[in-house]
Every structure is written in structure tokens, then in C-alpha cells.
Amino acid sequence: MILENSLLAALPRRECLQLLAACEPVTLTFGEILYEPGETIRHVLFPGNALVSLLTLADGHLALEVGLIGRDGVVGIPLMLGQTVSAVRALVQGTGSAWRIGSARFLKETRRSLPLRRELYRYTHALMAQISQTAACNRFHVVEQRLARWLLMTHDRVKSDRFHLTHEFLGHMLGVRRVGVTRAAHALQERRLISYSRGDIVVLDRAGLEAVACACYQVVRDMHDGERTAPALHETPVTVAA
Ligand SMILES: [Zn+2]
């Protein structure tokens, strides 16, 4: 299969293949919890077309999405920083492929490979920027703008005009109750930017969604793109046996 994860794809070919030899391909399933706050991180995952949300919990039951990880990144960054326990819930938001590696082996590979460390540091900063921008976004921007932003972020990662997001999950994304989700989704639908039925979302007008979304979307995307200063050292995509 063609390597879908852009962090892995940015590694020099030899480094990438060496890391993949220590990984196994897995399918992550919608609703699967990879780890809870306070739990030990046993695996690190490089999503392909799977989507993983990071949720912060409040009062033990209220959940708010603070980060979204897809083909652009890696799940398990705390290990890089010397922490073996997660502070957030990592929940699979979109079924799809990923590469999985055990924590001990991951740390061994990061000690061995400078290009891997460089990519992980770069992504750690991008994820921190995404999380901090999200904190400001939740405080200052209205639900419709924020919904447009999350839909664009999802669209970027799944690379498909169609995806599934449940009402409950949209509530977590936006930190609002069901009625707030319904109102915002209807508003976007009335403007013919999306169609939305029972969680099945179709992006009809990408440019229109960008016009509605708050500036947070562009801020995080620009930072993400701008940070990849080191050019990929191989020209062709790495292909590995499925
Ligand atoms: Zn915003």
C-alpha cells in the first residue's frame, strides 16, 4: 500500500522503511478508545486514513475535542516528551488504516533516528499550536464558524468529500448541546455548503466553508505547512507490501 501518513513520508526512504519494519498495519474502528486520561500509552499510531480525536474531560463526563490527528501526524506524542501516561482521551473518530508500533520500540527508534526526532518535534509543535488555537476558538468564535472549521480540518485529513460524524461527536467537537449542533449544521446546509443526514456529511462547497470558518482554520494550517522546512529527501512515495 502507498504510504499515506505524511510524517512518515517526510522521512528519508531508508529511515522510513526501517521504522515501518517495526510497525504493523492496523485498522482503527470508529468509537474505539485508544487510551483514557491517566492510562499508560502502550502504542504509538501513525494514521493513514483513520482519524483520531483528542478529548479533554471535565467533571468526569463532559468531553471537549482539543485536537484532531490524521494522516498529518502521530498519536502518542507524550512518549516523546518522556511521559508514559496520557492526559487526554484518544478516540477514533473515523474508521481507517494506521501503522502501529509498541511504545518501547518507538522510543528505541526515536533515539536511533535524528530525522524521525526532527519530524516528531515539528509535529509536536504543530499539535500544540492546534490545541492552543482551539482553546481561543472555543472562547471567541460562534458555533457555526467553529463547525465549518472542524469540517474543513476533517476534510483535509480524510481527503474525501464524504465522511461520517455523529451528532454526539459534533457536540464534543463544538462543546455545545444537541440543539446547538442541529442549528449550526442546518445553517450550513441552508447555504448549500454541506448536506447533512444522520451524521453523513457531504462537503458541497469547500470554498464557501472556508469563507464561513473562523480564521483559526487558516492560522493552524499555515503554521503546519510552514513548519515543514526540511524537504522530503526522497522524490517518490514509499510503497510497502500491504
Ligand atoms: Zn476559531
Separation between Cα atoms, residue 89 and residue 102, nearest integer Å: 18
| Residue 66 CA, ligand 1 centroid: distance in Å | 12
Cell triple for 168: 454526539
Taking only the tens place, the pLDDT of each residue in 78-111 is 999 999 999 999 999 999 999 999 999 999 999 9
DSSP states along 24-60 = EEEEE-TT-EEE-TT-B--EEEEESS-EEEEEEEETT
Distance 134 CA to ligand 1 centre (A): 7
Q: Please tell me the distance from the alpha carbon of residue 228 to that of residue 230, in angstroms, as a whole number.
A: 6
| Ligand 1 centre distance from Cα of residue 16 (Å) | 35
CA of residue 168 to ligand 1 center, whole Å: 20
Rg of the chain over all Cα atoms, to the nearest angstrom: 18
> How far, in Å, from the CA of 184 to the mean position of ligand 1?
14
Which has the minimum average pLDDT: 100-104, 134-138, 208-212? 134-138
Task: Please give the pLDDT value at position 175.
Answer: 81
Contact (CB, 8 A) for 101 and 22: yes
Phi, psi of 80 (to 5 degrees): -60, -30
Per-residue pLDDT reduced to its tens digit, 153-194: 999 988 889 988 888 888 887 888 888 888 999 999 999 999
Residues flanking ion ligand 1, Cβ below 5 Å: 137, 141, 214, 216
